[in-house]
Structure 1
Amino acid sequence: MKTVLITGANRSIGLEIAKQLAAKGYFIYIGSRNLAKGEEVVNQLKAQGLANLKAIELDVTNPGTISAAAEVVEQEKGSLDILINNAGILGSIPQTATEADVNMIKDVFETNLFGIIQVTQAFLPLLKKSAMPRISNITSGLGSLTLHSNPEWPYYPFKATAYITSKAALNMYTIALNYELRDLPFKVNAIDPGYTATDFNHHQGPGSVHDAASFIITHTDTLADAPTGKFFSPDIKDDSKISPW
């Protein structure tokens, strides 16, 4: 049975990922900043017939909760097979490059970049004990420098400074992390779930949470010959689904 940790998993895409992976028979740690909310969704999922789920307090901006969560996983499972860094925030809108509040930008980076780095580093020792370790950093097509430089791209006008720069930085961290782990059986990828209708965007996206979670799982729960160090997006038309950085 594979062991999975998903950050920000008590709602939206993270919760749907947990549901789909639990249905495959994996043991899922639902990382939640608020433990009570995490336990509430675990009870709901168990009532739906799913098993092997546990809520775990994990605030990616709080090193204490990160280290405590790592200790729980080590004591209970001894290793970790899949880490899905799903937690993220948008920040207040508008976010113009000329007037965005620097402290707000720092807050976005604290969750979207530094939090992911802290979680990844804390759980790397447990991931290294897995035969097929996987790290998926949930990013956004809005983090692509190439696409944001193309005036014909549909989302070209959306230049939310804090969010898009945090995701571009996360993409670069994914590349660096994959490089450092290249001699181990890791698969480290950045995955864009697409423009999905969630609480995050006031349910404005055209995509469904179910499809977004399925796409993430497809490019996370992979075989030994699968690509690594890539940026996947459902918006890419060819079968590879590999997005330009």
Structure 2
Amino acid sequence: MTSSSTIALVTGATRGIGLETVRQLAEAGVHTLLAGRNRDGAVQAALELQSQGLPVEAIQLDVTDTASIQAAAREIEQRHGRLDILVNNAGIIADDPSLPVSAQSLDAWRRTFETNLFGVIGVTQAMLPLLRRSAHGRIVNVSSILGSLALHSDPSSPIYDFKIPAYNVSKSALNAWTVQLAYELKDSTIKVNSIHPGYVKTDMNAGGGEIEIVDGARTSVQLALIEDDGPQGGFFHLGEVLPW
């Protein structure tokens, strides 16, 4: 899974964990498509990595826009004929931290799910025909430990007090999607898993976080490059299995 003929797509990849995921996949020899909502931003980020000798190319893809998703799928088919790795990395937080769970706006819920769940489903549906042409298809859904129902229900867990409702529930739903899709693909050559990147120092955390971006991308890359006997339908962080 590390030859130069391997083709990967990473969504939400113009900065943060997504950009670092592109870098690490490209450093492993994977020809990686760096996707961003804004084409100019994606091109700029791709050019910087290309200047370092890495096999990266830009592609415009807005996960909330069906036409954009379909156009990206057509472009990948025309350029490469297939896709080997899909990393569904794009995600947002729209919750108002000053409001309790019950007072979060319906608009925040809808915007969060549009990107964090429906965007993932839409991109995956569009890319599955291309992934089925791969001998070793891999789908990595970037979730969060904050989507764990088991840990949110346990007063002794480290995330018990981290109630960011729309974001958390969107990641719980993403994990459920992973389980459902893994069942469909269990007899295929495509592996699908969810990952928790860690509490990473990114713009999304407004300067917070405990680990560096380079470490936050590692789990996505690990699951993108698993061998054919690797896991299917699991939830992982740096090799550790997490509870749903």
* Corresponding residue to 2:27 among 23, 30, 46: 23
Question: Could you tell me how far apart the structure 2 residues matched to 1:53 and 1:117 are?
Answer: 24
List aligned pairs for 1:96-175, cutoff 5 A: 96-175=100-179
Letter in 2 for 1:57: Q
Mapping 1:187-202, distance limit 5 Å = 187-202=191-206
CA contact (8 A) 2:219 2:236 kept: no
2:44 partner amino acid: E
Which residue of the partner structure matches residue 96 of structure 2?
93
- Which amino acid is the alignment partner of residue 225 of structure 2? D
Q: CA RMSD in A?
A: 1.0
State the identity %: 46
Quote how far apart the aligned CAs of 1:212 are: 1.4
Contact 1:5 1:84 in 2 (8 A): yes
Q: CA deviation at 1:186?
A: 1.2
Shift of 1:103: 1.2
SS at match of 1:120: helix
Match of 1:69 among 60, 67, 72: 72
For residues 202-229 of structure 1, the C-alpha deviation after alignment (integer angstroms, 9 at most, x for no partner) is 1210111111112221122100111110
Q: Which residue in the other structure is 2:243 paired with?
A: 244
Instruction: Extract unaligned runs of 5+ from structure 2.
Output: none
- Alignment-derived partner of residue 59 in structure 1: 62
Give the TM-score of the pair, scaled to structure 1. Answer: 0.95
TM-score, normalised by the number of residues in structure 2: 0.96
Match for residue 186 of structure 1 among 170, 187, 190:
190
- Aligned match of 1:217: 221
Distance in 2 separating the partners of 1:164 and 1:96? 13
Alignment check: 8 A CA contact 1:196 1:203 kept: no
**Which range moves more in the overlay, 76-85 or 211-220?**
211-220
Residue 231 (structure 1) aligns with: 235
2:96 aligned counterpart, secondary structure: coil
User: Which string of whole-angstrom CA distances, capped at 9 and with x for unpartnered residues, describes residues 62-114 of structure 1?
Assistant: 00110000001001100000000000001132253211101110100000000
Counting matched residue pairs gives: 239
Indicate the larger mover: 199-208 or 108-117.
199-208
Structure 1 regions of 5+ residues with no counterpart?
A: 235-239
For residues 58 and 165 of structure 2, the distance between their equivalents in structure 1, rounded to whole angstroms, comes to 33
Task: Give CA-to-partner distance per residue, 1:135-186, whole Å, 9 cap, x none.
Answer: 0000000000000011111221111110000000000000000001111011
Aligned with 1:98: secondary structure? helix
How many angstroms apart in 2 are the aligned matches of 1:41 and 1:75? 22
The secondary structure found in structure 2 opposite 1:157 is coil
Contact 1:174 1:229 in 2 (8 A): yes
What amino acid does structure 2 have at the position aligned with 1:32? G
The amino acid across from 2:201 in the alignment is A
